[in-house]
Amino acid sequence: MGGPSAEREVSLSTGRECARALRGEGFEVIEVDAGHDLATRLADAAPDVCFNALHGRWGEDGCVQGILEWLRIPYTHSGVLASALAMDKTRAKDVYRAHGLPVADSVLAPKADVMARHVMVPPYVVKPNSEGSSVGVYLVTDGANTPPRLADTMPDIVMVEAMVPGRELTVSVMGDGPDAPGALTVTDILTDGWYDYDAKYKPGGSRHVLPAELPKPIFDACMDMAGAAHAALGCRGVSRTDFRWDEDRGLAGLIVLETNTQPGMTPTSLTPEQAEHCGTSFGALCRWLVEDASCDR
């Protein structure tokens, strides 16, 4: 839990909640704030399983998964390759396209160029190519006269993506085997503005309607596409795939935004809500993840 990424505080919250739930399920739990001595601390602790509650870079991009594979410690969630693919938004889109999943047009561009001119006709979104939780997202609206002014913390190369209007939808997937629950349900995320970092993690930042009140073809397509994205990337354990849906365009207006291989497990998080709706308590979800853990993921 924790770690050095931009999502450290959310990861600490996830870690605390999961540790509490796992103790309630009868597990002995050691909470490790991941630092540069992580490999040594894990080797000393010699755990039966590592529950990965890290978010962001180093925790869900394949780095910590590689350490765990090297140490041969069974761990939860996705493995090295799936984690790295999903975290790199451009490469994830390449995988989606190869499997027939619809995505928004986007380009990678130098940060300096993005601030100097419109590299895409507005409206568009500027975001890091390899971060999660809506960290560093900039909206450039239709008719904007000037390009965005990006923070110094933004990477030198950023993604510029066509803005897709409409509703924000999400589907969690549990497992990839014949006995796994699979896609859980669709949540409609309602906010007063963009579904940014604060809307995701601050109490009252967003409202979740589940199951989402959608036409059946749209609901079913979200479920199918989430399962397909999980499988195409090679995800394990739990993943969550986000969508945008332009109601005016029907099924053609549904696009896959991204897949999160380490969904938040905080009091306001979407995946525990969906699991609870489907009859799996938070404690049972954490237990399922531990029992699903392995190496060579």
CATH number at residue 256: 3.30.470.20
Does the annotation mark 117 as catalytic? Answer: no
* pLDDT greater than 80 at residue 71: yes
Instruction: Determine which one of 96, 264, 287, 297 is catalytic.
Output: 264
Percent of the chain at pLDDT above 70?
93
Phi and psi angles of residue 51, each rounded to the nearest 5 degrees, phi first: -90, 110
Confirm if 176 and 237 have CB atoms less than 8 A apart. no
* pLDDT value of residue 206: 74
Each residue of 185-230: pLDDT tens digit? 999 999 765 544 454 445 555 789 999 999 999 999 999 999 999 9
Domain count, the chain: 3
pLDDT score for 191: 79
Helix residue ranges per DSSP H, the chain: 8-24, 38-45, 63-71, 80-87, 89-98, 111-116, 197-201, 216-233, 270-277, 282-292
Say whether both 274 and 223 belong to one domain.
Answer: yes
Domain membership flag for residue 297: no
Statement to judge: residues 12 and 66 lie in one domain? yes
- Residue 138: strand pairing partners: 126
* 111 shares a domain with 92: no
Residue 69 has pLDDT above 90, yes or no: yes
Which one, of 39, 45, 30, lies nearest residue 70 by Cα?
A: 39
129 among known catalytic residues: no
134 has pLDDT over 70? no
Find the domain containing 76 and state its range: 8-83
Clarify whether 31 is annotated catalytic. no
Residue with tokens 């938004």: 89
Q: What per-residue confidence (pLDDT) applies to 176?
A: 74
As a whole number, mean pLDDT of residues 34-60 equals 95
Q: Pick the catalytic residue: 17, 60, 61, 242?
A: 242
Do 217 and 160 form a contact (C-beta atoms < 8 A)? no
Residues 156 and 169 grouped into a single domain: no
